[in-house]
Structure 1
Amino acid sequence: MILRRYLIKEVATTTALVLGFLVVMLLGGRLIRYFGMAAEGGLDVGVLFTLIGYNLPYFLELIFPLSFFIGLMLVFGRLYADHEMAVMNASGISRGKVARLILPLVIVAFVVQCFITMAGKPWGVAKATNIWQEQSVLEVFDFITPKKFVSSGDYHLYVGEIGENREYLKDVIVIQMPKGQTPESMNDIANQNEDAAKKAEALAQSLPSEFVRVKDTLIYAKSATQVESDDGVVRLDLHQGRRYEVDAASKQYSQIGFERYRISLAAGKTNDLKPMKIEGWTSSELLANLNKTTPNPSSSEIHAELGYRFSLPWLIVIAAMLAPPLAQVRPRQGRWLKLIPAIFIFVANVLILISLKESIAKGKVGDWAYPVAVLLLVLFAFYMNHHDRVVARLRLSRQNARRDEGVGA
């Protein structure tokens, strides 16, 4: 009982330390990338750490089994290096029995991996995708530059000043004209007028013919605020302004005053947003669409993702079977000698499952390959545990055969 508690405590502590180190290292790289995007104006700083949190289950899906395997390797390597395993073997406690003492921890790790793979990662991917979609919807409003025109479909927006925290815009000019025509040359015209009302009138009368079509619309407003929308369309409420309609032939215009005028910008529509990745689908949604012929994603992609989720938790069992024999070192070798080769062997098991996911998604093989691959990996780990015994029996049989030959001669 004391030995079991010691082993479970050591493996759990070492796994947590390795897991923390790998998470900080990988998420640190992603955090630097997001900081760069935020500095360039491509990401709101307020959602930066939220996005990192939602990406955490995505990394844990593969980091947690690797951390558990490294933790087992370090603990069992220490038992061999400090000759504690030799003492236990001399006392009648085999290596297999020592490995079975951590079975409760293996079961807990298996359940945790199932939760991460089946529920945690899809939830995190779905939440992160929603944030990216919200950022793309707010792109036109959030990244407006004062005293420059910003185009959005038929609308060209000019803002004299941006309010605090981008909650409102001041001295707004909106020009509606055909797509493909940019009013960049009108920036100087807008900057040269002092009176806000005269800006719009001067622009309407001095527009070149190539920028004007019949009944072009030009709107001036003292301020503008964004309207919350659930349909993915960016809407602005313009306050206290005038709306002009310009005739292309006569250069005459009509005007009307307003207290509030709402426009809908063309960018950020929901039908322009990218569909949810299959990694963001819940396991129940995958099971519901398992036998349906859906174009996006295809049936093979659903089978590949679902089989991948059911296969990954078995990496915990494979890690528990591989670590004891791979951690065995001879006296004076040190427990770090076999760590790197063992990590390569375990990563090879992970890469087999990842390559199977890609092959099944492309329709090259069927989803039957997952259980076959898992079974072969378990058999390989089982062989590694009994390799020394098999080799010893083969040597003994050869020695007996040679002895029999010598006696017969």
Structure 2
Amino acid sequence: MTRQVASTTALVLGFLVVMMLGGRLIRYFGIAAEGRLDISLLFTIIGYNLPYFLELILPLAFFIALMLVFGRLYVDQEMAVINASGVSRGKLARLMTPLILALFVGEAALSIVGKPWGVRSSETIWQQQALTSAFDLIRPNEFINSGNYHLYVGSLSDDNKQLQDVVLIQTEPQNKPAAVNQAPPELEAQLPIADLPKDIVAPTTRNNSSISTDTITLAKRAEQVETGDSGITQLDLFQGRRYEVGAGSLVYNQVSFERYRITLTEAPQEVVTEDNIETQAVGPLWQVATGNTQAGSVDALRAAQGELGYRFALPWLMIIAPMLAVPLAQVRPRQGRWLRLFPAILLFVSCALGIISLKNAVSKGNVSVWSYVWLILGFMVLALYLNWGTRIQHRLRVRAKSKALADNSSTGGQL
């Protein structure tokens, strides 16, 4: 029976994976057709995204397989024969302990190690591909966009690494601090306000702290820097000028340079933040969640706790699945095994959705991280009641009836 459950789990898992990856694959093919993704990296990205889907699909596939196998045993009256032979349904479930433990370890590896590694590797490929696509799209006398940069090139070499007559415009969002790659303050020369006409001096006296700043850099040529780090892209600009212009302001800063290095894309930050929680390993997350590091804010601490609780709670679905499937698969004669399949799936999915919703609730600080424990224990208690509730009620009724008969007989004997 263990082999039958394992084979059914594999079939259901393959079907669900194809269903889930179908839409994603079509979208990737569309991106590749537009030239924004190398077709040779298509299946690599899908492979990296596979743990992301398997961490939720694997428990569901295992539960559906258990419902199908045990449901068939009840419908074909095989379970009645097995029980008559002295083998209870609880013992049948215990015979699958090696399979359950193997799936528990596999699910733990997926949620704790596999998914963060896959998401991190996939994001790295997308960053490299976006940058490669941006430089491949460079055309003379045309503007291209790469993030918050707008690049204009007069001419370029065959390998797209030597650029001539470069215009680089960087747009900074409102209330964002200045970039770290600005020119030194001692090299900047502010245009004197006294040299401006009187009719344009007045608008510049307002507070500029909330004004967005655009940086315009002009250079005769530029070269792409070989940094050796796939996460960093830099350009060396030669013989040019750099301007800082504030929106709505007539005062600007300017500086001349012979050589100026600018960073287009930076390496991912090692500091744990709310944006990179899913890509972090367990070690950094544990340090942030337990407050052993000073880096990060309160929001980062809550997000780390929610992510850790989510990763550690998912493997317990493999334990809850057989505990729920054994009693829910039982059907009466002529009912059919499909009668309880869909309600049982809804009950099991509600447990998975509860874990997902707790991740967001813990990250926002609405509930404690110990809510994961109470949710898992609650579904285990429900499963134990479904397995033993009827039997316990039957035994209590038999004991109550026996006690009543004993009291009646003792009363009659005294009379």
Q: Deviations over 1:72-114 (max 9, x none)?
A: 1111111111111011111121111111111111111111111
Structure 2-normalised TM-score?
0.71
- Aligned counterpart, 2:229: 230
Question: Larger deviation: 20-29 or 331-340?
Answer: 331-340
Unaligned runs of 5+ in 1: 1-6, 181-215, 246-260
1:67 correspondence with 2:58: no
Distance of 1:145 and 1:401 partners within structure 2: 94
Shift of 1:36: 2.1
Q: Give the CA RMSD over aligned residues.
A: 3.9
Pick aligned residue for 2:106 from 105, 109, 112: 112
Q: In 1, are the aligned partners of 2:162 and 2:224 still within 8 Å (CA)?
A: no
Spell out the pairing of 1:14-93 with structure 2 (5 A cutoff). 14-93=8-87
Q: 1:15 to 1:271 in 2, by over 3 A?
A: closer
Distance of 1:57 and 1:15 partners within structure 2: 17
- Aligned counterpart, 2:303: 301
Q: In 1, are the aligned partners of 2:157 and 2:163 still within 8 Å (CA)?
A: no
Unaligned runs of 5+ in 2: 173-216, 242-257
Question: Larger deviation: 94-103 or 10-19?
Answer: 94-103
Pick aligned residue for 2:377 from 355, 375, 378: 375
Q: In 2, are the aligned partners of 1:278 and 1:302 still within 8 Å (CA)?
A: yes
Shift of 1:43: 3.1
- Aligned counterpart, 1:277: 276
Pick aligned residue for 2:320 from 318, 321, 324: 318
- Counterpart secondary structure, 1:27: helix
Distance of 1:53 and 1:300 partners within structure 2: 30
Distance of 1:101 and 1:393 partners within structure 2: 26
Distance of 1:171 and 1:96 partners within structure 2: 73
Q: 1:177 to 1:355 in 2, by over 3 A?
A: closer
- Aligned counterpart, 2:285: 286
Structure 1-normalised TM-score?
0.72
| Code of the aligned partner of 1:157 | Y
Q: In 2, are the aligned partners of 1:159 and 1:169 still within 8 Å (CA)?
A: no
Pick aligned residue for 1:268 from 260, 265, 268: 265
- Aligned counterpart, 2:251: none
- Counterpart secondary structure, 1:335: coil
Distance of 2:355 and 2:171 partners within structure 1: 49
Identity %: 46
Q: 1:290 to 1:42 in 2, by over 3 A?
A: same
Q: In 2, are the aligned partners of 1:237 and 1:262 still within 8 Å (CA)?
A: yes
Distance of 1:329 and 1:371 partners within structure 2: 31
Shift of 1:398: 7.9
Q: 1:135 to 1:93 in 2, by over 3 A?
A: same
- Aligned counterpart, 1:126: 120
Q: 1:116 to 1:402 in 2, by over 3 A?
A: same
Q: In 1, are the aligned partners of 2:302 and 2:363 still within 8 Å (CA)?
A: yes
- Aligned counterpart, 1:198: none
- Counterpart secondary structure, 1:53: helix
Q: In 2, are the aligned partners of 1:155 and 1:177 still within 8 Å (CA)?
A: yes
- Counterpart secondary structure, 1:174: strand
Q: Deviations over 1:266-301 (max 9, x none)?
A: 643448999762111111221232333522862111
Between the two proteins, the alignment pairs up a number of residues equal to: 346
Distance of 2:132 and 2:307 partners within structure 1: 32
| Code of the aligned partner of 2:317 | L
- Counterpart secondary structure, 1:357: helix
Question: Larger deviation: 62-71 or 269-278?
Answer: 269-278
